[in-house]
Amino acid sequence: MILRFPKREKLKSRKAIEVLFLEGRSVTKFPLKVFYMPLSEAAANRAAFAVPKRNFKSAVERNRIKRQLREAYRLQKQLLAANNGPKFALLFLYISKDKPQYVLLESSMRTILNKIIDESN
């Protein structure tokens, strides 16, 4: 499996993100919260990442956390692809007020993706 995160897998649409917040379901595993919703006619899972400005004033810190989240997702996304079920729109929200350790992010990401798979079956 090619472990890339190409442009077609990024969730960018404001309308899609708004619908995701209004109608989507959520799963929490500290320090992450994920809003997700099945997509009807998508070729791939689509993901977005957010870190609140309220908790991290510096853009440098927010961008670093988002890079770490993207990397953890990129390495774990084959769990969703192996499911062969519906494709999802995902929004990962970092909810902690402290800078993360990558190991904690990676384990939380794995747990959350497994929960999403279990709930979709």
Q: What is the CB neighbour count within 10 angstroms for residue 87?
A: 18
Amino acid identity of residue 64, one-letter, is: R
Q: At residue 68, does pLDDT exceed 70?
A: yes
| Whole-angstrom distance, CA of residue 55 vs CA of residue 64 | 14
pLDDT score of 119 = 87
Proportion of the chain above pLDDT 90, given as a percent = 78
As a whole number, mean pLDDT of residues 10-28 equals 94
Q: So where are the chain's domains?
A: 10-114
Task: Output the pTM of the full model.
Answer: 0.92
Q: Does domain 10-114 fall into CATH 3.30.230.10? A: yes
pLDDT tens, residue by residue, 77-109: 998 887 677 889 999 999 999 999 999 999 999
| Whole-angstrom distance, CA of residue 121 vs CA of residue 117 | 6
Q: Which comes out higher in pLDDT, residue 119 or 36? A: 36
Q: At residue 11, does pLDDT exceed 70?
A: yes
pLDDT score of 40 = 82
Q: Is the peptide bond before 38 cis (omega within 30 degrees of 0)?
A: no
